Chain A
Amino acid sequence: MAASMLCRRTAALCRTLKGISCSKTVLSADSPRGLPPQSASYNPRPLRLNLHRPHIPDKDSEKTPEWQKSSRYDRKLFGRYGSASGIEPASLWPSRAELDRMTAEENEWQPPLEVMLKNVQAREEEETQRRLAKEKLIAANMAKMPKMVADWRREKRESKSKLKEEKSRRAKLLAEARERFGYALDPRSPKFLEMVAEIEKEEKKKKKLVKRRLKDEQLAAPPVAPPAASS
């Protein structure tokens, strides 16, 4: 008796198990990969729309709160109850004023595809232009570099040699002064400066003489050449 009871209970269990597996769509055991015959349907959540007892608030009474009289709530009522809510379907879409506002906003903030592509292209072109200009500048400057380096080196050498010359000249003058006066003379003293002025004068005279001689030679040379050429 107990066993028969058990049998019946287990049989009922087996039947319910089979029933559940039948309500889901059957997947054949040897379905080829990539083409199952049907898809397992996920049981969607029950909507619970309360269609038998809809709560539609009274628009005229004062007791209903303000938010239940707004157009947003009306749309939600229509979405939940459909035409049973008593909402005019035409009110679901934006009114003329709202539509104008929406179009204006879109025209301002969402340009069409062509405009966007143009903007993007313009921006990219500007970027490339800037980059190319910079690279050109760098290349030009780099090309100038060897010359600039050589110039700088030359200048350094020259200034160095000038300094050396200056030093040697000063040393020579000091030695000259030492010879003339017999003691180490201070270069800032007036005697030294006089001596320096004398030496400079003598050098100038010598230079003038040299120049005059050169001029005379030049004058002598051309008159000799043309008569030789003409005759």
Chain B
Amino acid sequence: MSFPKKPASKALGILQNLPRISLANLRPEPGAKKAETRRGRGQHGGNRSGRGHKGERQRGTRPRLGFVGGQTPFYLAIPKYGYNEGHSRRPQYQPLSLRRLQYLIDLGRVDPTHPVDLTQLVNARGVTVQPLKRDYGVQLVDEGADIFSAKINIEVQRASEGAVAAIERNGGVITTSYYDPISLGILIKPVPFFLRGQPIPKRMLPGEDMVRYYTDAESRGYLADPEKIQQARLALALKYGYTLPDISKDELYHMLSMRKDVRQIFFGLAPGWVVSMPEKKILKPTDEKLLKYYRS
């Protein structure tokens, strides 16, 4: 093979000259494959086959897990206490760290030039939410707050104070909003919902136990007063020791100030509309009663 050597393509030259890859040319990295122990064969696998010497161990007649020879076992001696009582009725929130969010933004999986919603996060495969396992959404956790540096308009279901501070320090906007389980199921999987042919339902309000959280300005709830939220932003900036950037002077101010209506599930789609995927059309109701119901 007498090819003229090009200055910077030795690798390409090698690639061109080597034979085709086939099973005959491939071999695993030494140490990657460890041979399995075949019991009952040979000097080391045979004789007692790794079962020990006589007794219950070799004969496989050990008692059940937790049995301690007749004494009251530990798991029965300890008295019951309702630590896990009603665990299946407690709302759960999938954690999303700021570190992971920054990772997703850096890789381009989440677009910070549009409002970031749970739908966007699920589309980016950043979080996995299971509404049927009592998940009520996503909570923002402040791990990675020191490396977070993205200006986004994000909407989650719960957020810790540090996470809120980190997002607002970078000139972003954070809102916490409530999605009832049906709305949550629609939010994370919009396309299968549209294929069902049902009109988009209106989002229900949170229950009495969660209403306080979502009307609070400290938690940036979606039902809170906007002025109180502004005051809370200033207070948080003072507490954490950063200057609050003025987002009204920002070029993305319109995007950052986009927020969903209380009853809205998707941006740009109102409750009551039917989305027809095959024809790419939206059908809206005209009946007065229906309109009144969906607008209430």
Contact = CB atoms under 8 A, between A and B. Distances in A.
A6 B274 contact: no
Interface in B153-195: 170, 191, 194-195
A76 B195 contact: yes
B109 interface: yes
A79 B124 CA distance: 25
Interface stretch (A43-51, A135-143, A168-176, A189-197): A43-51
B127 interface: no
Contacts of B276: 78-79, 82-83
Interface stretch (A115-123, A150-158, A177-185, A202-210): A115-123
Contacts of A3: 1, 3, 16-17
B285 interface: yes
Interface stretch (A28-36, A60-68, A213-221): A28-36
A81 to B, nearest CB: 6
A120 B212 contact: yes
Interface residues of B, number: 50
Interface string A7-26: 10010000000000000010
Given A76-B197, A93-B290, A110-B204, A42 B149 contact: no
A56 interface: no
B98 to A, nearest CB: 13
B111 A39 contact: yes
Interface stretch (A96-104, A125-133, A223-231): A96-104
Contacts of A36: 105-106, 108
A34 B197 contact: no
B124 A116 contact: no
B208 A119 contact: yes
A163 interface: no
A34 B151 contact: yes
A102 B293 contact: yes
A92 to B, nearest CB: 5
Contacts of A38: 108
A40 interface: yes
Given A36-B108, A47-B191, A75-B198, A80 B285 contact: no
Contacts of A81: 278
Interface in B249-296: 272, 274, 276-279, 281, 283, 285, 287, 289-290, 293
Contacts of B24: none
Given A82-B281, A117-B215, A89 B274 contact: yes
B95 interface: no
A112 B108 CA distance: 40
B276 to A, nearest CB: 5
A146 B124 CA distance: 70
Contacts of A123: 208
Contact of A75 (B106, B112, B197, B285): B197
Contact of B277 (A7, A49, A75): A49
Given A7-B16, A113-B211, A113-B223, A82 B198 contact: no
B144 interface: no
Given A42-B123, A113-B211, A120-B211, A89 B283 contact: yes
Contacts of A34: 105, 112, 149-151, 170
Interface string B7-33: 000001001110010000000000000
Nearest to A54: B278
A113 B278 CA distance: 38
B193 to A, nearest CB: 9
A10 B15 contact: yes
A75 B276 CA distance: 11
Given A39-B108, A83-B279, A10 B205 contact: no
Contacts of B111: 39
Given A79-B194, A92-B274, A99 B290 contact: yes
Contact of A33 (B125, B149, B208, B212): B149
A103 B278 contact: no
B196 interface: yes
A27 interface: yes
B110 interface: yes
A84 interface: yes
Contacts of A75: 196-198
A120 B124 CA distance: 38
A110 B263 CA distance: 13
B120 to A, nearest CB: 9
A150 B285 CA distance: 82
Nearest to B3: A3
Contact of B289 (A82, A99, A117): A99
8 contacts: A27-B108, A34-B149, A47-B277, A79-B194, A82-B277, A83-B279, A92-B198, A103-B293
In the complex, the 8 A-B pairs of residues with the closest C-beta atoms, listed nearest first: A79-B197, A75-B197, A39-B111, A82-B278, A82-B279, A78-B197, A34-B150, A79-B195
